[in-house]
A and B are shown apart, each in its own frame.
Chain A
Amino acid sequence: MHALDKKLLRDFRRLWGQSLAIALVLACGVMILLTAFGMYRALDDTLAAFYERNEFADVWAMTEKAPRPLLTEISALPGVQTAEARVQEYLMLDLPGRVKSATGLALSLPDTGALPTLNVPLLRAGRLPDPQATDEVMVNEPFAEANGFEIGDTFEALLSGQKRRLTITGTALSPEFVYAIGPGTLMPDDESFGILWVPQAMLASAFDMSGAFNSLTLSLSRDAQEDQVIEALDTLLEPNGGTGAHGRDEQASNAFVTTEIKQLKNMATILPPVFFGISAFLVNMVIGRIIALERGEIGLLKALGYTDVHIAAHYVLLAGLTAVLGVIIGWITGGLSARWMAGEYAQYFKFPYLIFNVSYDAYAISGFLALLTAAVGALRSAMGAARLPPAVAMSPPAPPRFKRSLFDRALAALRLSQPSMMIWRSLFRWPLRAAFSAIGLSLAVAIMISVGFFSYSINSVADIAFNQSNREDIVLLFTKERSLSALEDVRNLPGVMEVEGELFTPVTLRNGHLEKQLSITTRGAGASLARSIDEAGRVVEVEGPGLLITTRVAEVLRLAPGDPVEVEFLSGRRETFTLTVAGVTEQFFGLGAFMTREAMSRLTRSVPQISVANVTLDPRQDNAFNRAIKDTPLISGAVRVTDMKASFDATVEENISIMNGLFSVVAILITVGLTYNSARIQLSERARELASLRILGFSNWEVSYILIGEIMLIAALAQPLGWLIGYGLGHLMAASFTSDLYTIPMVLPPAAYATASVVVLGTALASVLLVRQRIDRLDLVSVMKTRE
């Protein structure tokens, strides 16, 4: 081994603390890249494989009731490869040992006894129901697991008002329900929502659907134009009460999963550059200082005949070793965490298997980026070292010129102590270095704020969504639309205190070429249970004939109050009207539009109708109520707002605390990397100066004050900038998480800023104190003896 290589290794060992601090920041970037990328890949591959192997459909359509022979016509539409008709109904379930009701989505299985050709359920246990049976059912595996069902267990279901005991013959997973979300709910709840695969004959006879279907799935040929097929399909189904076909993008499960995958991809591309940037700066700072301290050695190497390339390479390699350390740590932790997180996701989403291909390219890319980062960070200093003329390198650098300036006079006027003076002078002597350190620290603060706001936002979402907007205890879903008299039936159920009805009507809203499918919610005037709340927290009432829309709808369709908007009804007489936007309101989940009952019934020239009833309950009669609704034919399901809030809180809180924890670690690592290195550099630069002070009789702590003071001053100055960047970054994050599925508002109370600052300042202080110990150990004699 060459002597120069030995020097390299020994230097690396001597600087291990600083190298490790940099390596950890670098490792963070590598880890996040690997994790996000690995998870993204795993989910994407798994989803694609599941969709392909199990024939995930391309287009879905619902009708009220269409004759089976229509299927031939649909199959003949250009671009359609396979068309499959089925009957689908929501059923009220009565599960053994469970007081509360559950909802089942029943899907018919082909008469032939075979599996469906599209959205093929993957059998996990047992067998398919016998096509002739009237009491057999296959359920989705998560539902069976959540309720502790085994093959052969039974439960009761209400089919058209008739209670039937069904026997579970098998369990399955379906590409259609990777994310299984029940009607009217926000989160999957496997205990209270199940998918039931039922023989066609049994479901059709119960719901008067013999020879007919109400649900259609299509697969398209490779060259098909989806929107043309949808248009043709809508025309065909219109006379049969079609409510508008849609593609994969509006299929609930697919929409959720793909949104999640997109966010992972964002994470893989947005965050790592931040870490690599900070690492490059750290490397630059450290190598720059090492080179300044080793001027003599550089001159010597040159005098001995080492070339510029040799010398530059020596220092770049020193940075390279740090990068290698960072890459190794990052690869190990990233590889593990990618696999672990992908496993978690696979459970959260109901995949039958997980395809985790180690993405060697992600390893290669992250490793390459980390090495590049270090090289870029080191290169400038290393080139500078190589370019030092040997004679100049041999002599010590000229002492920095401290100038008397206006600033000095200001300091003098403040009558600062000498140590304080030294702090301020050095800050202004190397303003660029101070500025870069401050920017780095402000990024640490910003990173904490940018995720820290989530918990505040989500609390505010939960408060507005559950405590202010939806004040009912339970939402009862009717099997079909009812007249207002149904509210009287509900009022007669045990324990019911208040009842209000709402109607959901599927429509397409259009503004020019922009359009969105959503449901208009129709409420009675002065409804007090379910209400709309605007951004300022005020109740927004719909007045007159206009349409109230949510912020997201207003944004997507570029609508403002007073604008006309075209409304095409997708059910009933399928008429198209032009309404006026009466106002805009906030809603965090999904898309929404609201009308008054009077306006709706005048518009559609029909008697007022309702599709759900919002209910408040006397808690003492909870059980009686639950028992009663299980036997009430007109109800297909009950959504408990309190349960929903609880499961929302649990899911979200876990995710948020993981994320907050992760980002705090990241902020801490960045802070340590910056402050530890700054302090070490300060100490080595000022060893003589500080030792002189000690010899002059200053105490250890008085001397330490100079070291601590300067770094903490920079850290303090970094805070406001960090708050500002955090605010901006938070907005970006909120925007990137906002989709048609949910809206993340930006809520940033002072506490969010304070938390970030406390963590960063605390970490900075701890890092400096770690370095400060070296002052106690400062060997005054040897420090003064060594040549500058």
Chain B
Amino acid sequence: MPETVFHTEKLVKTYRTGGAEVHALSGVNLDLFASELTVLLGPSGSGKSTLLNILGGLDHATSGKVMFRDLDLTVQSDRALTRFRRDHVGFVFQFYNLVPSLTARENVQMVTDIAPNPMKAEEALERVGMSDRIDHFPAELSGGQQQRVAIARAIAKRPEVLLCDEPTGALDSSTGVQVLEAIREVNEDLGTTAIVITHNAAIQAMAHRVVRFQDGNIASVSTNETRVAPSEIVW
């Protein structure tokens, strides 16, 4: 039995906008395991990002329980959540979210400046194949390159978990493959638990497990007996 990294119980998230209540998550029970690469699939609005944000300590649940190992995230203060993010979580977002006024290296240094046991910024960029663009500003990089810098930034702190929200959403397929390759390498080489949200069903082939979302809850979970390398995925 592999080690459980995230454990949720009856996780509920409700948004109240105007008069209406939106149940973004309605009682999610899920376990995620160490060193596993999980793909979250599901239609738009089904609650994938909401779940990822709560797992990453970016948002609070309305009710239910979220455990990160022995840490109950639902009872943590904002300050403790900030600490949790800083020490354990790496994020990658759909829109690369680089700081435009900082170079690739400096964007990674944003993390290495505050993380407890980071790798060197150069090393992180090397891992994603960005060594030759180290002093470029985001505006001077393509979308795929920006996203790879974002992944370098996420892994530079040697996080236990890497949370990726549609990392290839804004990319064409060959650039997307490079990005997925970078994620897979981190997962394999560093043993980082990775969760990747995607709309793209083809991507599920690279995962250890696939979780399908529907209307704020898990529709199904399946395990891939054989995984496909990102380079063999086409869409």
A contact set with B: CB distance below 8 Å: 2-4, 6-7, 10-11, 14, 296-297, 300-308, 310, 389-391, 394, 787
Contact = CB atoms under 8 A, between A and B. Distances in A.
A2 B115 CA distance: 13
Given A6-B106, A304-B111, 15 more contacts: A3-B102, A3-B107, A3-B113, A7-B99, A7-B101, A7-B106, A11-B101, A296-B97, A300-B97, A301-B110, A305-B114, A389-B58, A389-B59, A391-B53, A391-B58
A303 to B, nearest CB: 5
A787 B143 CA distance: 13
B6 interface: no
B161 to A, nearest CB: 13
B93 interface: yes
Interface centre among A10, A305, A390 (most CB of B within 10 A): A305
B102 A303 contact: no
Contacts of A4: 110, 113
B212 interface: no
B68 interface: no
20 contacts: A3-B107, A3-B113, A6-B102, A7-B106, A10-B101, A10-B102, A296-B95, A300-B93, A300-B97, A302-B85, A303-B58, A303-B85, A304-B86, A305-B115, A308-B79, A310-B114, A390-B53, A390-B59, A391-B58, A391-B59
A614 to B, nearest CB: 77
Given A11-B101, A391-B58, A306 B82 contact: yes
Chain A CB within 10 A, most for which of B83, B86, B110: B110
Contacts of A6: 101-102, 106
A708 to B, nearest CB: 28
B213 interface: no
Nearest to B139: A782
Contacts of B113: 2-4
Contacts of B35: none
B106 A3 contact: yes
Interface in B87-136: 87, 89, 91, 93, 95, 97, 99, 101-102, 106-107, 109-111, 113-115
Nearest to A297: B99
B82 A302 contact: yes
B78 interface: yes
A303 B102 CA distance: 17
Contacts of A394: 58, 93, 97
B216 interface: no
Nearest to B137: A10
Contacts of B79: 307-308
B138 to A, nearest CB: 11
Nearest to B107: A3
Contacts of B106: 3, 6-7
Contacts of A14: 101
B19 to A, nearest CB: 15
A146 B102 CA distance: 67
B110 A307 contact: no
A688 to B, nearest CB: 16
A302 B53 CA distance: 12
Interface residues of B, number: 28
B56 interface: yes
Contacts of A300: 93, 97, 99
Nearest to A398: B17
Contacts of A11: 101
Contacts of A2: 109, 113
Nearest to A14: B101
A306 B82 CA distance: 7
Contact of B114 (A10, A296, A304, A787): A304
A3 B110 contact: yes
Give the one of A300, A301, A304, A306 with max B CB within 10 A.
Answer: A304
A739 B206 CA distance: 89
Interface string B137-155: 0000000000000000100
A310 B99 CA distance: 16
B87 to A, nearest CB: 7
A787 B95 contact: yes
Nearest to A303: B91
B85 A304 contact: yes
Contacts of B59: 389-391
B102 A390 contact: no
A650 to B, nearest CB: 56
Contacts of A297: 97, 99
Contacts of B89: 305
Given A4-B113, A787-B95, A305 B87 contact: yes
B58 A308 contact: no
Nearest to B90: A304
A277 B207 CA distance: 59
A7 B102 contact: yes
- Top 6 A-B pairs, shortest CB-CB distance: A305-B86, A3-B109, A10-B101, A391-B59, A305-B85, A3-B110
Nearest to B112: A3
Contacts of A296: 95, 97
Nearest to A310: B114
Nearest to B153: A304
B99 A305 contact: no
Interface string B43-83: 00000000001001011000000000000000000110011
Contacts of B109: 2-3
A702 B115 CA distance: 51
A390 B99 contact: no
Contacts of A303: 56, 58, 85, 91
Nearest to A393: B58
A301 B98 CA distance: 10
A391 B113 CA distance: 22
A318 B56 CA distance: 29
Contacts of B115: 305
Contacts of B111: 304-305
Q: Which of A11, A308, A391 has the most CB of B within 10 A?
A: A391
Nearest to A787: B95
Contacts of B110: 3-4, 7, 301, 304
A308 B85 CA distance: 13
A172 to B, nearest CB: 67
A762 B109 CA distance: 47
B78 A308 contact: yes
